Amino acid sequence: MRQAELEKKAVERVRPARSELSLLAFGAVLGPYEILDPVGSGGIGVVYKARHLLMDRLVALKFLRPSLAKDPQFRLRFLQEMQSVARLDHPHIVRGYDAGELAGTLFCSMEFVDGPSLDQKLTETGRLLREREALRITLQVARALEHAHGQEVLHRDVKPDNVLLDANGSAKLADFGLAGTWLKCAPGTAQEHTEYTVGTPFYIAPEQACGVARLTPAADLYSLGVVLFQMLTGRIPYDGVESQAIMRQHVTAPVPDPRKGNSKISPKAALVCQKLMQKEPEARYRSARALATDIERLLAGEDLLFARPGSEGHGAQRDGGSSSSTRPAVGSARKLRPAARTPAAPNPGAIPERKRRRFDVDAAHPAAKPQAALGQLLGSVKELFGAKPAPAAPERPMRKRKRRLEGPRPHGA
């Protein structure tokens, strides 16, 4: 079966049926929840606005789609999202309240954010935000990621659709449906070897696009850099029709300069954006905390601490974060660009290179005389250039000196 047909079947498998969005009628009561309105759908779930009758509180009620409720793989992903949300408690992360099973399918009760998503806001404003507003939203998402990474949780799908804005304009990171851990991922486990690439092609990190299972926080920071680029310029950095072509650009295309799309962007804001979007994970910010520090300094009119002109591609200054959050991805984008070899530290007792070559020849041919060894070395060099090696010069026998049997000759004789 052709690849296009496989992709079509995969899309149809997870595409929400129209009946699923209106599956629960207005006023329907499931347990302690009263269904109010359908909100939308995520990767594997359908979301409703509901009210907890006992607590009189509005919630977002997310159900696993009925068409996927019997699939063990999707049930596992939904359960992982529940566990990830339960571990996180931060003002810039959508809170989780309850989880279980209702109407024959899994559900998760979460904080209801009465406001648009960042994607909807970009559409309303002509897909462009003022620099300070874009930096403020990026700072809040960075703080959310700092908390999640501190709990060993990677989001793996940071994008405008998953950033919700409340009535005060405060950003809240949502939809941890693709979340995973990196410290507890042991070799040989299901998390170590995946059969598909997770994430959204327009915002995916290079190492994530290559299918690396053991990702690090640097993958989330790259995706946040793409979101910042979009907020500053009004467009995504890499576009295309096919997912594979878009992901290939994330891996191989040069890091774009946001000032070419919007000349009003300050050089420091462009520097932060470009540092986030470096191809090598170790060349980006070492942690979300370091990113938040730089944005706070930028908003205060101070110099950047971790992103400086000419520092791209040479790593970041250490920010004092945990060593676990700064570990580079195993087998990640490092494979895409060979690392430069660093010269070995000098050893005072080492043999000089010129002498070492002579000693190597003598060790290879312990019985060879210098003239014969030189002939063999010359023959090897000529073979490299295609010339027929000349036969080695015959060894001249050494004259044996006659042993004097008589005693020493008297003086003057």
**Domains annotated on the chain, with CATH:** 20-111 (3.30.200.20), 118-335 (1.10.510.10)
Task: Extract the tokens encoding 11.
Answer: 């899309």
Annotated catalytic, 98? Answer: no
Residue 116's pLDDT is 94
Catalytic residue from among 37, 71, 114, 157: 157
Q: Provide the H-helix boundaries in 189-216.
A: 206-209
Residues 6+ apart with CB under 8 A from 107: 61, 62, 63, 64, 99, 100, 101
Strand partners, 171: 165
What are the tens digits of pLDDT across the range 150-192? Answer: 999 999 999 999 999 999 999 999 988 666 654 444 343 334 3
Q: 3-class SS at 301? A: coil
Query: pTM, whole model, 2 decimals?
Result: 0.69
In this structure, the dihedral spanned by the alpha carbons of residues 191, 192, 193 and 195, taken in order and rounded to 10 degrees, is 40
Q: How far apart are the C-alpha atoms of 51 and 293, rounded to whole Å?
A: 38
Return the pLDDT at 309. Answer: 75
Dihedral, CA of residue 279, residue 285, residue 289 and residue 294, to nearest 10:
-120
Number of H helices, E strands in the chain: 12, 8
**Res. 319 pLDDT band, cuts 50 70 90:** low
Nearest to 295 by CA among 134, 171, 173, 135: 135
Length of the chain: 413
> In 3-state terms, what secondary structure has residue 62?
strand
Q: Residue 394: pLDDT band by 50, 70, 90 thresholds? A: low
Check whether 225 has a pLDDT greater than 80: yes
Mean pLDDT of 220-233: 97
